[in-house]
Amino acid sequence: MHFKNILIGFFCGCLGMPVLAAQQKPDDLFFSSGLVQQQQQTDPLPPLPPSSTEDQLDHTLTLQECINIALENSPSAVAAKLAVQEAHINLNLSRSEFLPTASAQASTSYFATKPAEAAHYSDHGSSDASAQVSLSLSGITDKVRGVKISKLALEQAELALANQTNAIARNVKKAYYALLSAQRAVAIRTQSRDLYKDQYERTSEYFRLGLRPKVDQTTAEVNLNNEELKLIRARNLVKTASATLANAMGVTTSLTLQIEDIGEQEKFDIPFDEAVSIAYQNRPDVLSSKAGLKISQIKLNQAKAGFFPTFSFSAGFTKYSDDLSLDNEDARLMASVNIPIFSAFKTYNNVKQVRVSFEKSLNSDRGLVNDVFLEVQKAYIQMQEAAESIPIAVLNVEKAKENLELAQGRYNEGIGDIIELKDAEVAYTDAELSLLTARYDYAAAVADVKQAMGTN
């Protein structure tokens, strides 16, 4: 065992690793090498730290909290933020082409030799030091264009982040409203179950008193059981909607999310033409397309510049010495011009290629404008449809409730039958669910319109 520890320490030293203590178990590097046999793990694994995400979800969440969590955890949002950071770095690299570079170095050496004929060693040493500052600008106009392109690329990255933020907010809103709708559907189904339960108890009492036949009691019991099954499905839909919302937020949890109820959806009163105008002005993808057109225009100008002379400038200053005193110095300044004469039509074809690319960008921009108009139009139409459906659904609920009360009265008085009562109860429940769906559709449609407009 002692020899094994020595062997482990020897290999750790060879690999530049800290020596393991005699009591410490060898790591995976030694296990994979085959020099050490892996032993049975006996120590229990350390407990995992509590998830900070679970702490964020253990209370009643507001819509804005859900959106903030999504923006913090969504992989697509993180990727967009990293793209912005990368664009910043590329811009700094482009700007650094206009900055001078400085360097310094020093060296010393010592030699000792003993020739074959000599009786003693001969030795000598030498030292050297230098400091240099230089600036070289080759193709100054190209470097200026490179900085402009990097700025526009940074603008596109920031717009892509804004676009992703809007998309995430829209998805979270729709999932949030869907969960609210599922929770309200449970309340409606619970109310309906209670009605069927009351009907079953009344029918059972009527049957006991000999006022109703056995078939009415059996039918009432079947109706109650069917409504219990629908209530179970409604509760499961709440769990599914909760999982969908958690996924939209970029988190995984086994909890059923508790969210804050939202009252009546505020009416969206922006006219259609104004909504389209706002979309053209605010949508990140439209603005990004415009930035892409500017980049294509700069690249076209850069290609055309191949027909014209290019200018270069360089300057440098160096101090050097062989005794570390830096007494000597050297300065240089040079400017040059390069005049193109014939490039085997490479410049000509390059200009044509870049011009085609610019035309493609123009065509894509026109297509995007048409798509934005269509997207706003479709979302606006769906929103109007949902808005017009809500008053009708409200009226249906009122009439269905009135009809249910009449059917209950007729049945209690012995005039109506249980089928009439069942139809009235189904109609009332369906009317309430239809109103719930209309309100959810309106809230989701408003979120779609705002997303199409490029606003939250």
Q: What is the pLDDT of residues 196-209, one digit of tens each?
A: 888 888 888 878 88
Structure-token pair, residue 422: 């069942």
What is the mean pLDDT of the segment spanning 168-172?
A: 90
Contacts of 10 (CB under 8 A, 6+ apart): none
Q: What is the dihedral of CA 275, 277, 278, 283, to 10 degrees?
A: 110
What is the mean pLDDT of the segment spanning 251-269?
A: 82
Q: pTM for the complete prediction?
A: 0.68
Q: Which residue is it, tokens 């300044």?
A: 333
**89 pLDDT higher than 50:** yes
The span from the CA of 1 to the CA of 418, in Å, is 87
What is the mean pLDDT of the segment spanning 147-166?
A: 91
Which of 142, 152, 148, 106 is CA-nearest to residue 126? 106
Which residues pair with residue 310 across a beta bridge?
Answer: 338
Residue 217: how many other CB atoms lie within 10 Å = 19
Which residues pair with residue 337 across a beta bridge?
Answer: 311
Quickly list DSSP for 296-329. Answer: HHHHHHHHHGGGS-EEEEEEEEEEEESSSS--EE
The angle formed by the CA atoms of residues 350, 355 and 357, to the nearest 5 degrees, is 95
Least confident of 3-7, 78-82, 233-237: 3-7
Q: Could you confirm whether domain 54-100+144-308+343-453 is CATH 1.10.10.10?
A: no
Q: Is 390 exposed, middle or buried (0-12, 13-18, 19+ CB in 10 A)?
A: middle
Provide the 8-state DSSP code for 337: E
**38 pLDDT higher than 90:** no
The span from the CA of 139 to the CA of 313, in Å, is 9
Domain parsing of the chain, residue ranges: 1-47, 54-100+144-308+343-453
The span from the CA of 414 to the CA of 409, in Å, is 9
Tell how far CA 371 is from the center of its chain.
23
The span from the CA of 365 to the CA of 346, in Å, is 28
Which residues pair with residue 89 across a beta bridge?
Answer: none
- Across the chain, how many H-helices and E-strands are there? 11, 4
Single-letter code of the amino acid located at 228: E
Single-letter code of the amino acid located at 219: T
Length of the chain: 456
Portion of the chain with pLDDT greater than 70, in percent? 81
Quickly list DSSP for 145-205. Answer: HHHHHHHHHHHHHHHHHHHHHHHHHHHHHHHHHHHHHHHHHHHHHHHHHHHHHHHHHHHHH
Q: What phi and psi, each to the nearest 5 degrees, are found at residue 174?
A: -65, -40
- The SS3 of residue 105 is strand
**39 pLDDT higher than 90:** no
Q: What is the mean pLDDT of the chain?
A: 80
Contact in structure between 429 and 394 (CB atoms under 8 Å): no
Which of 315, 311, 333 is CA-nearest to residue 135? 315
Q: What is the pLDDT of residues 278-297, one digit of tens each?
A: 999 888 888 888 988 988 88
**40 pLDDT higher than 70:** no
Q: Are strands 122-138 and 101-113 parallel, antiparallel or unpaired?
A: antiparallel
Q: Helix 284-304 and helix 346-412: axis angle, to 10°?
A: 170
Residue 240: predicted pLDDT: 94
